[in-house]
Amino acid sequence: MKTNAIRRDKPHPSGLDQTDRKLLRLLAERADRPYAELSKLVNLSAPAVHERVKRLRRDGVIQGVVAKLDGEKIGCPLLAFIHVTTEGWGMTRPILALQELADVEEIHTVTGDTCLILKVRSSSPASLEKLLSRIQEVEGVRATQSYVALGTYLERGPMPELPETGEPR
Amino acid sequence: MKTNAIRRDKPHPSGLDQTDRKLLRLLAERADRPYAELSKLVNLSAPAVHERVKRLRRDGVIQGVVAKLDGEKIGCPLLAFIHVTTEGWGMTRPILALQELADVEEIHTVTGDTCLILKVRSSSPASLEKLLSRIQEVEGVRATQSYVALGTYLERGPMPELPETGEPR
DNA sequence: GATCCAAGCAAATGAAATCAGGAAACACTC
DNA sequence: GAGTGTTTCCTGATTTCATTTGCTTGGATC
């Protein structure tokens, strides 16, 4: 028999222990790793990792697994952030309907000198202009201001912080 | 023998045919599908899908596969966009170094009334404040302006447009 | 119309995910 | 501190899926 080195620790408010967090960091970076590989990295057996991932999925911590595509290579070289100021609160039905457009990637309501921030990716300036005019037409929209990305130096998803150094990576 | 329904078409400038684009849309949404399932959805055999995905990966169209995590559930409930105005162009080494911090998710240089846009996700107002002060200290940084997200109504990655309707979804 | 190439398929192989049975640690209660 | 239930883990099957192989065909080229 083997003396299992089990260390229970859920010191974190999120209910995730150290191993969970490490796993999540690994998966947020690259989710197509075999459990066998992950299991070595977190010092567990493959089925144990499987079990944890299943739980994290069930609890909604892991929302899904997606392929990261290259904007330029799929024909959408133009990335822009659009600030939208509106009459009221901002998040109306026609605004929400914008998510049907393939080039709208994110929609947030925010505090600050604007109401909405949209992240969009267009195939051409003309396409971006069309999108803008479409937004301007929406009932309640006062104005828009665009920020076209010249370069993207980092783009990744949420990732739990390491132990409690509270910083690195 | 079966009469293969082969339709060659690469009408798109990106070099991706209709099937590639459909595949990419499927994978951008959910990348943990068996090839057998994908193969039905695009009317191909599993090995054919495998072949295509391999090519798309090799060509960098698919940059990778990542797990999408829930910001709140991993203890980072605060999402914010930070505009940074700087002396010169903006993208200096110390700014780039910010990517070492786990809560910085994106860094873009942009046109418009700011130089840089950062997307960050923090565990608390205090943590966000610390990050802000850290940015302010960077050589060449003139000012920052923050937009804290109240609600996120859409958040996804790049995705090729459908056929040529140029719009839906 | 002969030849070449790209892309496909079915069948076979190998690798990985998943399931099962049982043990250890932990967290309770008494 | 012994008893008991629950959680998490491990090893060893079993099954599912990815990947390889070998061959076929449609289309392009000459």
Testing the interface with A: which of B18, B73, B83, B156 to mutate, by most A Cβ within 10 A? B73
Question: B111: which 2 tokens?
Answer: 């046109």
pLDDT (average), residues A117-125: 97
On whether the CB atoms of residues A102 and B161 are closer than 8 A, the answer is yes
- Per the CB < 8 Å rule, is B16 touching A76? no
Q: Pick the residue with more confidence: A165 or B28?
A: B28
* Angle, vertex CA B68, rays to CA B67 and CA B71, nearest 5: 135
Quote the pLDDT of residue B2: 38
Give domain status of residue B125, yes or no: yes
Testing the interface with A: which of B61, B63, B66, B98 to mutate, by most A Cβ within 10 A? B66
Question: Closest partner residue to A68 among B64, B96, B109, by Cβ?
Answer: B64
Q: Which of A30, A58, A86 is the C-terminal boundary of a domain?
A: A58
Give domain status of residue B83, yes or no: yes
Asked if residue B144 and residue B82 are part of one domain, the reply reads: yes
Question: Closest partner residue to A16 among B71, B74, B123, by Cβ?
Answer: B74
Compare all CA atoms of chain B with the CA of A119 and give the residue at the minimum distance.
B155
What is the CATH number for B138? 3.30.70.920
Question: Closest partner residue to A158 among B59, B76, B127, by Cβ?
Answer: B76
**Nearest alpha-carbon partner for A85 in A138, A132, A134, A144:** A144
Per DSSP, which regions of chain A are E strands? 62-69, 78-86, 104-110, 116-122, 141-155
B-facing residues of A in 124-163 (CB < 8 A) are 127, 145-162
pLDDT in tens, A61-73: 999 999 999 999 9
Coil, strand or helix at A25? helix
- Per the CB < 8 Å rule, is B158 touching A81? no
Asked if residue B87 and residue B140 are part of one domain, the reply reads: yes
Asked if residue B36 and residue B91 are part of one domain, the reply reads: no
pLDDT in tens, B53-89: 999 999 999 999 999 999 999 999 999 999 999 998 8
Coil, strand or helix at B123? coil
Asked if residue A82 and residue A52 are part of one domain, the reply reads: no
* Average pLDDT for chain A: 90
Give domain status of residue A140, yes or no: yes
Asked if residue A86 and residue A27 are part of one domain, the reply reads: no
Output the pTM of the full model: 0.89
Quote the pLDDT of residue A74: 96
User: Is the minimum CB–CB distance between A78 and chain B shorter than 8 Å?
Assistant: no
Question: What percent of chain A shows pLDDT beyond 90?
Answer: 83
**pLDDT for A128 beyond 80:** yes
User: Which chain B residues are Cβ-neighbours of A160 within 8 angstroms?
Assistant: 69, 74-76, 102
**Residue A42: nearest nucleotide (C-alpha to C1'):** D9
- Show the domain range for A116: 78-148
Cα–Cα distance measured from residue A48 to residue A66, given in angstroms and rounded to the nearest whole number? 23
Whether the CB of B45 is less than 7 Å away from nucleic strand C comes out as yes
On whether the CB atoms of residues A74 and B16 are closer than 8 A, the answer is yes
Quote the pLDDT of residue B164: 53
What is the CATH number for B43? 1.10.10
Give domain status of residue B141, yes or no: yes
Give domain status of residue A8, yes or no: no
Asked if residue A126 and residue A95 are part of one domain, the reply reads: yes
Quote the pLDDT of residue B5: 41
The CA distance from A114 to the nearest CA of chain B, in Å, is 8
Asked if residue B36 and residue B86 are part of one domain, the reply reads: no
- Tallying the residues shown for chain A, one arrives at 169
Quote the pLDDT of residue A9: 60
Residue B28 CA: distances (Å) to CA of A57, B32, B107: 18, 10, 22
Residue B39 CA: distances (Å) to CA of B3, B12, B57, B158: 17, 22, 17, 22
Q: Is the ipTM of this complex over 0.85?
A: yes
User: Is the minimum CB–CB distance between A32 and chain B shorter than 8 Å?
Assistant: yes
pLDDT values of chain B reduced to their tens digit, one per residue, 169 residues: 333 344 455 557 677 899 999 999 999 999 999 999 999 999 999 999 999 999 999 999 999 999 999 999 999 999 999 999 999 888 999 999 999 999 999 999 999 999 999 999 999 999 999 999 999 999 999 999 999 999 999 999 999 987 654 444 4
Quote the pLDDT of residue B88: 86
Asked if residue A96 and residue A34 are part of one domain, the reply reads: no
Give domain status of residue A26, yes or no: yes
Asked if residue A93 and residue A53 are part of one domain, the reply reads: no
Question: Residue with structure tokens 């739990």?
Answer: A160
Give domain status of residue A23, yes or no: yes
Asked if residue B48 and residue B83 are part of one domain, the reply reads: no
pLDDT in tens, B144-154: 999 999 999 99
Quote the pLDDT of residue A12: 72
Quote the pLDDT of residue B151: 97
* Angle, vertex CA A105, rays to CA A102 and CA A107, nearest 5: 120
pLDDT in tens, A139-158: 999 999 999 999 999 999 99
Give domain status of residue A3, yes or no: no
> Structurally, how many domains does chain A consist of?
2
Question: A101: which 2 tokens?
Answer: 């457009």
Burial classification of residue A28, based on how many CB atoms lie within 10 Å of its CB (0-12 exposed, 13-18 middle, 19 or more buried): buried
